[in-house]
């Protein structure tokens, strides 16, 4: 997501901001960068204390000028409460279920259909283990995450945008416009690792909930 040049530039800006607070246009991209390093790559470049310092600087500015708060600001991930009642929303394109394959013949036939559909024999495949999570659709408009929905019945699902914003590996904004894309839908699976599940249960015990 970030080139070597962008990483160097943002890291240099980070050091500058840790010495002297900056403005919204500096703090927001820096915080998004460090969220990506921590939650996606698992390769943080700043300490938790340093991240919190930058985050609080942003909170202070937004508290003083609330009219400048944007939907993609790192502070907008955390709401007062998560939605428990969801509105049903239609998918832009139906979210169909995947078919299983247990033999080579099925894969060969699928490969033939794929090549015929896009009218080419040159296809590269990337294979990886399939996570058993919850299917999610993310819609970005003008680079901003505007909606997240569950698969539901495939035609429509629950709008869980507020809840999905709590997942810090999901970017609140992305530069699709750099590629001429104004509206895009991203689909994937959300899941909780065993380590995160363990921490969550420990937190519940500490709170006296479990």
DSSP result, 91-127? -SS--PPPPP--SHHHHHHHHHHHHHHHT-S------
Q: Is 204 part of any domain? A: no
Q: Is 210 part of any domain? A: no
Q: Tally the domains of the chain.
A: 2
Q: Is 208 part of any domain? A: no
Q: Is 130 part of any domain? A: yes
Listed in sequence order, the residues at least 6 apart from 52 whose beta carbon sits closer than 8 Å to its beta carbon are: none
Question: Are 102 and 188 in a shared domain?
Answer: yes
Q: Is 209 part of any domain? A: no
Residue where one domain finishes, among candidates 30, 46, 77: 77
Residue where one domain finishes, among candidates 33, 55, 77: 77
Catalytic residues: 130
**Contact between residue 91 and residue 138 where contact means Cβ atoms under 8 Å apart:** no
Q: Is 82 part of any domain? A: no
| pLDDT tens, the chain, 210 aa long | 789 999 999 999 999 999 998 999 999 999 999 998 988 788 999 999 999 999 999 999 999 999 999 888 998 876 545 556 789 999 999 998 777 777 899 889 999 999 999 999 989 998 888 778 889 999 999 999 999 999 998 999 999 999 999 898 999 999 999 999 999 999 999 988 888 889 889 988 988 876
Other CB atoms within 10 A of residue 72 CB: 17
* CATH code of 18's domain: 1.10.287.610
Question: Are 131 and 43 in a shared domain?
Answer: no
Question: Are 31 and 56 in a shared domain?
Answer: yes
Question: Are 31 and 97 in a shared domain?
Answer: no
Beta bridge partners of residue 150, listed in sequence order: 136
Question: Are 46 and 15 in a shared domain?
Answer: yes
Q: Where in the sequence is the domain holding 17, given as residue range(s)?
A: 4-77
Tokens encoding 95: 């979210």
């Amino acid at each position: 997501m970030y080139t070597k040049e962008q990483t160097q530039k943002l890291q240099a800006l980070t050091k500058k901001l840790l010495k002297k607070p900056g403005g919204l246009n500096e703090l927001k991209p820096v915080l998004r960068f460090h969220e990506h390093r921590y939650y996606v790559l698992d390769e943080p470049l700043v300490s938790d204390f340093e991240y919190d310092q930058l985050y609080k600087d942003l909170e202070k500015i937004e508290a003083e000028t609330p009219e400048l708060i944007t939907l993609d600001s790192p502070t907008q991930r955390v709401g007062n409460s998560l939605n428990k009642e969801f509105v049903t929303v239609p998918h832009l394109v139906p979210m169909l279920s995947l078919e299983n394959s247990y033999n080579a013949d099925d894969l060969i036939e699928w490969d033939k259909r794929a090549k015929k559909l896009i009218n080419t024999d040159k296809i590269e495949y990337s294979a990886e283990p399939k996570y058993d999570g919850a299917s999610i659709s993310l819609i970005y408009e003008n680079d901003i995450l505007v909606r997240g929905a569950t698969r539901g019945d495939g035609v429509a699902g629950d709008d869980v945008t507020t809840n999905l914003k709590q997942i810090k590996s999901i970017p609140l904004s992305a530069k699709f416009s750099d590629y001429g894309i104004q509206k895009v839908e991203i689909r994937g699976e959300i899941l909780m690792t065993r380590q995160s599940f363990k921490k969550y249960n420990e937190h519940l015990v500490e709170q006296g909930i479990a």
